[in-house]
Amino acid sequence: MIMTVEELNTIETSIKEEIKNTLVLIENYKALTKPIAPENAIGRISRMDAINNKTVNEAALRKAEQKLTNLKIALSNINDNDFGLCSKCKSPIPIGRILLMPHSRFCVNCAR
Ligand SMILES: [Zn+2]
């Protein structure tokens, strides 16, 4: 354990908050990626627009889902002895970075 209990509590609260936000985001993206109405209902051009937007939103949805997975992993790892250590170089990750990106398991250098 390289962090104080207070630091871990702060991080845990932050991760849970981030999970909540990400779940809302995922719901929004899911609503935006529903099947698109047929051409004769909304017109050809707006249907093409809708398909383009859908592709963008689907990519965003996948990203948000990936983030949620990582956040959950971070949350379950929080009591591990090596929590807060970079998965690659094993050097401590600054608490500011963990709070900013709790889903990242790498220090700034290794994340590049
Ligand atoms: Zn590293």
Residue 92 three-state SS: strand
State how far the Cα of 70 lies from the Cα of 74, in Å rounded to an integer. 6
Kindly give the confidence (pLDDT) of every residue in the chain, 112 residues in length, as a single tens digit, with 9 standing for 90 and above. 568 889 889 999 999 999 999 999 999 999 999 998 888 888 999 999 999 999 999 999 999 999 999 899 889 988 888 888 999 999 999 888 887 887 788 999 999 8
| 72 Cα–ligand 1 center, Å | 21
pTM of the model: 0.78
Q: Is 3 exposed, middle or buried (0-12, 13-18, 19+ CB in 10 A)?
A: middle
| 110 Cα–ligand 1 center, Å | 4
Which residue in 59, 71, 92 sits closest to 21, CA to CA? 71
| 112 Cα–ligand 1 center, Å | 10
| 16 Cα–ligand 1 center, Å | 24
State how far the Cα of 29 lies from the Cα of 77, in Å rounded to an integer. 28
| 99 Cα–ligand 1 center, Å | 16
| 85 Cα–ligand 1 center, Å | 8
| 52 Cα–ligand 1 center, Å | 38
| 105 Cα–ligand 1 center, Å | 9
State how far the Cα of 102 lies from the Cα of 106, in Å rounded to an integer. 10
CA angle in degrees (0–180, nearest 5) for 11-22-84 = 25
Which residue in 112, 111, 32, 30 sits closest to 70, CA to CA? 111
